[in-house]
Amino acid sequence: MLSKKMGSSSATLFLLCFALFSFAANAYEVSHDGRAITINGERKILISGTIHYPRSTAEMWPSLINKAKEGGLQVIETYVFWNAHEPLRRQYDFSGNLDLVRFIKTVQSEGLYVLLRIGPYVCAEWSYGGFPVWLHNIPNIKFRTKNDAFMSEMKNFTTLIVDMMKTEKLFASQGGPIIAAQIENEYGNVNGPYGDDGKEYIKWCAQLADSYQIGVPWVMCQQDDAPPPMLNTCNGWYCDQWQPNSNSTPKIWTENWTGWYKNWGNPNPHRTAEDLAFSVARFFQYGGSFQNYYMYHGGTNFGRTAGGPYITTSYDYDAPLDEYGNKNQPKWGHLKQLHLLLKSMEKILTHGVSRNIEYGNQMTATVYSYAGRSVCFLGNADDSRDATINFRNTNYTISAWSVSILPDCYTEVSAQTSTMVRKENEADDAGEPFALKWRWMYEPYDQLLNSSAFGSKISASVLLDQKVVTNDTSDYLWYTTSFDVKKTDPIWGKEVKLRVNTSGHGLHAFVNGGYVGSKYANYSHYKFQYESVIQLQLGKNEIALLSATVGLTNYGSFFDNVEVGIHGPVELVAEAGNNETITMDLSTNKWVYKVGLQGERDEFYNPLKTKEEDWLTRNLPTNSIFVWYKTTFKSPLGNDPVVVDLMGLGKGFAWVNGNNIGRYWTSYLADQDGCSSTCDYRGTYGSTKCLTKCGEPSQRWYHVPRSFLRDDGDNTFIVLEELGGSPYNIKFQTVTVGRASAHAYEGHKLELSCQGEKVISEIKFASFGQPKGEIGSFEKGHCESPKALSVIKTKCVGKESCSIRISERVLGSTGCKVEQNRLAVEAICDTKVNEEAIN
Ligand X SMILES: *[C@@H]1O[C@H](CO)[C@@H](O)[C@H](O)[C@H]1NC(C)=O
Active site residues: 186, 255
Contact 44, 36 (CB under 8 A): yes
Q: Which helix (H) or strand (E) holds 410?
A: none
Full DSSP string of 365-377: EEEEEETTEEEEE
Q: Does residue 634 sit in helix, strand or coil? A: coil
Q: CB of 494: closest distance to ligand X in angstroms?
A: 16
Footprint of ligand X on residues 242-281 (CB under 6 A)?
A: 255, 257, 261
Between strands 75-79 and 46-51, the pairing is: parallel
Angle (CA) 348-351-355 rounded to 5° is 80
159 makes contact with ligand X (CB under 6 A): yes
Q: CB of 419: closest distance to ligand X in angstroms?
A: 27
Point out which span in 518-526, 604-612, 628-636, 801-809 binds ligand X (CB under 6 A): 518-526
Alpha helices by DSSP H, 345-492: 346-351, 466-470
789 makes contact with ligand X (CB under 6 A): no
Contacts of 479 (CB under 8 A, 6+ apart): 463, 544, 545, 546, 547, 565, 566, 591, 593
Contact 464, 593 (CB under 8 A): yes
583 makes contact with ligand X (CB under 6 A): no
* Closer CB to ligand X, 387 or 759, in the complex: 387
12 makes contact with ligand X (CB under 6 A): no
Q: CB of 124: closest distance to ligand X in angstroms?
A: 5
Point out which span in 22-30, 417-425, 523-531, 557-565 binds ligand X (CB under 6 A): 523-531
- Among 22, 91, 247, 579, interactor with ligand X by CB under 6 A: 579
* Closer CB to ligand X, 255 or 322, in the complex: 255
**φ and ψ at 254, to 5 degrees?**
-85, -25
Nearest to 652 by CA among 518, 496, 794: 518
* Closer CB to ligand X, 536 or 742, in the complex: 536
Point out which span in 108-116, 197-205, 517-525, 644-652 binds ligand X (CB under 6 A): 517-525
Q: Tell me which amino acid residue 332 is.
A: W
First vs last Cα of the chain: how many Å apart?
Answer: 38
Strand order in the sheet with 476-485: 458-460, 591-595, 476-485, 539-548, 506-511, 514-520
* Closer CB to ligand X, 115 or 760, in the complex: 115
| Three-state secondary structure readout of 561-596 | HCCCCCCCCEEEEEECCCCCEEEEECCCCCEEEEEC
- Among 140, 384, 395, 678, interactor with ligand X by CB under 6 A: 395
* Closer CB to ligand X, 255 or 274, in the complex: 255
Angle (CA) 185-318-285 rounded to 5° is 65
How many residues of this chain bind ligand X (CB under 6 A)?
39
- Among 83, 263, 314, 501, interactor with ligand X by CB under 6 A: 501
581 makes contact with ligand X (CB under 6 A): no
* Closer CB to ligand X, 691 or 802, in the complex: 691
- Among 486, 525, 817, 832, interactor with ligand X by CB under 6 A: 525
The packing angle between helices 100-109 and 61-70, to 10°, is: 40
* Closer CB to ligand X, 45 or 544, in the complex: 544
Footprint of ligand X on residues 535-554 (CB under 6 A)?
A: 540, 542
Footprint of ligand X on residues 221-240 (CB under 6 A)?
A: 235
Cα–Cα distance for residue pair 697/725, rounded to 1 Å: 14
Give, as one character, the DSSP assignment of residue 436: P
Nearest to 161 by CA among 98, 106, 255: 98
Q: CB of 720: closest distance to ligand X in angstroms?
A: 20
Q: CB of 159: closest distance to ligand X in angstroms?
A: 4
Contacts of 252 (CB under 8 A, 6+ apart): 37, 219, 231, 233, 234, 244, 288, 289, 290, 291
Cα–Cα distance for residue pair 740/827, rounded to 1 Å: 5
390 makes contact with ligand X (CB under 6 A): yes
* Closer CB to ligand X, 544 or 816, in the complex: 544
Between strands 387-391 and 476-485, the pairing is: unpaired
Q: CB of 592: closest distance to ligand X in angstroms?
A: 12
Point out which span in 408-416, 521-529, 644-652, 683-691 binds ligand X (CB under 6 A): 521-529
What is the chain's length? 839
* Closer CB to ligand X, 438 or 445, in the complex: 445
Point out which span in 319-327, 525-533, 683-691, 829-837 binds ligand X (CB under 6 A): 525-533
* Closer CB to ligand X, 389 or 810, in the complex: 389
161 makes contact with ligand X (CB under 6 A): no
Nearest to 127 by CA among 300, 266, 308, 261: 308
- Among 184, 186, 346, 465, interactor with ligand X by CB under 6 A: 186
Q: CB of 29: closest distance to ligand X in angstroms?
A: 27
Cα–Cα distance for residue pair 371/260, rounded to 1 Å: 41
* Closer CB to ligand X, 318 or 346, in the complex: 318
Point out which span in 71-79, 511-519, 634-642, 721-729 binds ligand X (CB under 6 A): 511-519
Full DSSP string of 733-769: EEEEEEEEEEEEETTSEEEEE--TT-EEEEEEEEEEE
- Among 167, 211, 529, 729, interactor with ligand X by CB under 6 A: 529
Footprint of ligand X on residues 446-485 (CB under 6 A)?
A: 450, 452-453, 471
Cα–Cα distance for residue pair 741/824, rounded to 1 Å: 8
* Closer CB to ligand X, 124 or 349, in the complex: 124
Point out which span in 112-120, 174-182, 267-275, 513-521 binds ligand X (CB under 6 A): 513-521
Nearest to 323 by CA among 699, 678, 730: 699
Point out which span in 388-396, 710-718, 787-795, 805-813 binds ligand X (CB under 6 A): 388-396
Binding mask 33-52 for ligand X (x = CB under 6 A): --------------------
Q: CB of 125: closest distance to ligand X in angstroms?
A: 6
- Among 100, 114, 123, 375, interactor with ligand X by CB under 6 A: 123
**φ and ψ at 503, to 5 degrees?**
-95, 10
595 makes contact with ligand X (CB under 6 A): yes
Give, as one character, the DSSP assignment of residue 164: H
522 makes contact with ligand X (CB under 6 A): yes
171 makes contact with ligand X (CB under 6 A): no
- Among 53, 284, 294, 653, interactor with ligand X by CB under 6 A: 294
Full DSSP string of 768-826: EES-BS-TTS-B--S-B-TTHHHHHHHHHTT-SEEEEE-SHHHH------SS--EEEEE
137 makes contact with ligand X (CB under 6 A): yes
Binding mask 653-692 for ligand X (x = CB under 6 A): ----------------------------------------
In the chain, how many H helices and how many E strands? 15, 40
* Closer CB to ligand X, 69 or 467, in the complex: 467
Contacts of 678 (CB under 8 A, 6+ apart): none
532 makes contact with ligand X (CB under 6 A): no
Chain residues binding ligand X by CB under 6 A are 89-90, 123-125, 134, 137, 156, 159-160, 186, 189, 235, 255, 257, 261, 294, 390, 394-395, 450, 452-453, 471, 501, 512-513, 519, 521-522, 525, 528-529, 540, 542, 555, 569, 579, 595
